[in-house]
Amino acid sequence: MLLDKQEIASLGASLRAIEPKILKPGHHKDTVRVWLQGGEPYFDIFLELKNDEIIWFQFTLRGKCLSWYYENGKLQTGTTNELNIDDVSFHPASKVLENDYACDVEFINLVKEILKTRDDEELFSKALKLF
């Protein structure tokens, strides 16, 4: 998925925080969940923070996903079912992720470029350190 600099900047600028009250509690005690939604369908960033440090990160865009979890400290790419409109189990608020066998380096680099458009903001700066 190759995008030009203008489209990358537009995607980064479109991300907005969603009201935290509608999110489920985090998986761990004393954590805070953050959901950022982009300006196009299926463009989301989810983070879980503990003591202001990211312990879980998930980025989805156009049927692709990138995840990171502190327990293994590795980036994992994959695909989502969001673009499969013929899926009978489809519900707009649900998402099924399937991991890639080998990480998609091109997608990882795209995610980094989108995050860099907002690296002056603390949350984005912290997310970039995961790479």
Residue 113's contacts (CB-CB under 8 Å, 6 or more residues apart) are 8
Whether 116 shows a pLDDT value over 60: the answer reads: yes
The number of beta carbons lying within 10 Å of the beta carbon of residue 52 is 9
Confidence of residue 98 (pLDDT cuts 50, 70, 90): confident
Task: Count structural domains, the chain.
Answer: 1
Mean pLDDT of the chain: 86
- Contact predicate 68/130, CB 8 Å: yes
- Per residue in 43-89, pLDDT tens? 999 999 999 999 999 999 999 999 999 999 999 999 887 666 655 55
Reduced DSSP (H G I as helix, E B as strand, rest coil) percent helix, strand, coil of the chain, to 5 = 25, 30, 45
Domain that holds residue 57: 5-128
pTM for this predicted structure: 0.84
- What is the C-alpha to C-alpha distance for residues 13 and 104, in angstroms, rounded to an integer? 24
